[in-house]
Amino acid sequence: MSFFRKKSIETMLAQATNHDTSLRKSMGAFDLTMLGIGAIVGTGIFVLTGVAAAEHAGPALVISFILAALACVFAALCYAEFASTVPVSGSAYTYSYAAFGEIFAWILGWDLILEYGLASAAVASGWSGYAQGLLAGFGIHLPVALTGAYDAAKGTFVDLPAVLIVFVMTILLSKGIRESTRFNNIMVIIKIIVVLLFLAVGVWYVKPSNWTPFMPFGFSGVVTGAATVFFAFIGFDAVSTAAEEVKNPQRDMPIGIISSLAICTILYIAVSLVLTGIVPYTHLSVSNPVAFALSFVHQDWAAGLISLGAICGITTVLLVMMFGQTRLFFAISRDGLLPSRFARVNSKTKTPMHSTITVGIFVALFSGFVPLDKLANLTNIGTLFAFIVVSIGVVVLRKTNPDLPRSFRVPLVPLLPILSVLFCGYLILNLPAFTWVGFFVWLVIGIVIYFAYSSRHSHLRANQNVKLDQ
C-alpha cells in the first residue's frame, strides 16, 4: 500500500518556501489573468470555431461554447480552491499527491504531460500555418520540404517555422518569469484588440437568416461540437502551475483563474454569434474562419489584421503551455518521480533550466516531424480526466483535512464538484474511439515507468524508509 502514500500539505508548502528549490515570486492577479487569457484565446477561437460550426453544431455553436464553458466553470472553481490552498507548482499533480496518494499523482502528472506536450506541439503547428500564410501574402514562400511534418506524398520533411517558434519560446522561458509575463501581457493585449475589432466590424454584416436552421445537426451535434471546442478552453488550468511564483496566491490565484475564464467565455460566445451570422455555417470548414468571415464580406483590410492577431494569440498559447509543462516536470522531479536534474533551479533566473530545455527539444521534435491532425481530441481527453480528478479531490480534501485554511472555497460542495465530474464525463463520452485507445496506451506506458523508476526513486518513500530505520 506504499504506492498510496500521501504527501502532506505542510511538506509541500515548506518546499515552496525553500530558497534552493523554490521559484521566484513575482506575479500578481493581473499577470495571472493575462496568463489565462494567453493560454485560452488562440487556436480554438481562430481555427476550431469554423470546423465545429460546419461539421457539428451549425449556428448552435454558441450553445456548444456554453456547454463547454459550464464544464470548465465548475472545474475552475475546484482549481481555484486548490491553487489558493496549496500554492505549489505542479497543478493537479500536486493536488492529487495530497488527496489520493503517490500513484494517483503520478498517473495524473503523466496525463498532464500528455496534455501540455501535445497541446504545445499542436499549437506550434497551427502557428506555422498562419505564419506561412502571412509570409505568402508578402510573396515569401519556403521550400516545400520545410513547410510541414514528414509526409512523403506531400514532399514535406520538417515543419521549420514550428521548430523555430518553439526554440524562441524556450529561450524566452529560460530568461525568467518576469520577462515571460511581460511578453505574454503585450501579446494578449494585441489579440484582445484584434478579437474586438472582428466583433466591431463584423456585427454590421450579420444576417439573422444565417442562423436558420439554428440546430441543423440536432442536439447530439451540439454536444459533439462542445467536446470539440472544449480545446478552445484548455489553458486556464495552466494558470495553477504558476501558483508557486505568485506573490499573494491565496488572493490572486482564484482571481486569475476565474476572471480569465469568464472573459474568454464572453469573447467566445460573441465571436460564435457574429461568425455564424456573417457566413452560412456550411461555408465555415476552413482553417482560418475568423479571417475568412471578414473576407467573405469584402473587409480584406480587417482580415489581414485578424491573421496577425491569430499569430499573436497562438504565440501566447504556446508560451503558456510550454510554461505549464516545464513547471510540471519541475514539480514531479522535485518529488523524485523523474530524474532530479529537472528540479534544478538556475540561481540567477530562478527558472528550472533543465526542464525548460528538455521541453523545448521534445516539443520541437513533435511539432516539426510528427503529423498532429488528431491531437486536439487526445489533448481534450487528458484535460477532462484531470478536471474530473481535481473536482473529486476537492471533496476528498474537505473530508480528510477539514481544518485546512482555505482562502477560497467552492460553494455548494459536493454539488458543484459533482456537476463538474458529470459535465466533463459527458464530454469525454462524446470523443472519438481512437482518442480512448490513445489515452489508454499512454496511461499504460506511464504505469510501467512508475513501477520501473518512479516508485523506486520517490523522495517520500525514501523519507518513510529512513523513519522506519530509526
Q: Is the residue at 468 inside a domain?
A: no
Among 277, 329, 278, smallest CA distance to 299 is for: 278
At 176 the pLDDT is: 83
3-state SS, one letter per residue, for 265-317: HHHHHHHHHHHHHHCCHHHCCCCCHHHHHHHHCCCHHHHHHHHHHHHHHHHHH
Average pLDDT per block of 10 residues along the chain, 470 residues long: 77 71 77 88 75 87 88 86 83 86 91 84 82 79 82 81 93 87 89 90 92 90 83 76 83 89 90 92 82 84 78 87 89 90 83 90 86 64 86 90 86 91 84 83 92 89 58
Q: Which residues contact 68 (CB under 8 A, 6 or more apart)?
A: 226, 227, 229, 230, 232, 233, 427
Q: Is the residue at 172 inside a domain?
A: yes
Q: Which range of residues forms the domain containing residue 453?
A: 2-462
Domain count, the chain: 1
Rounded-to-integer distance, Cα 85 and Cα 409, Å: 9
SS3 338: coil
Q: Is the residue at 470 inside a domain?
A: no
What's the half-sphere exposure (Cβ side, CA atoms, 13 Å) at 65? 26
Q: 7 near 96, Cβ under 8 Å?
A: no
SS3 335: coil
Q: Is the residue at 308 inside a domain?
A: yes
At 470 the pLDDT is: 46
Radius of gyration of the chain (CA): 22
Q: Is the residue at 467 inside a domain?
A: no
Quote the pTM value: 0.86
At 19 the pLDDT is: 60
Dihedrals phi, psi of 406, to nearest 5 degrees: -125, 110
Q: Is the residue at 19 inside a domain?
A: yes
Q: Is the residue at 244 inside a domain?
A: yes
At 276 the pLDDT is: 92
- The CATH number covering residue 64 comes to 1.20.1740.10
Q: Is the residue at 447 inside a domain?
A: yes
CB atoms within 10 A of CB 164: 16
With 0-12 CB in 10 A as exposed, 13-18 as middle and 19+ as buried, what is 21? Answer: middle
DSSP 100-145: T-HHHHHHHHHHHHHHHHHHHHHHHHHHHHHHHHHHHHTT----GG
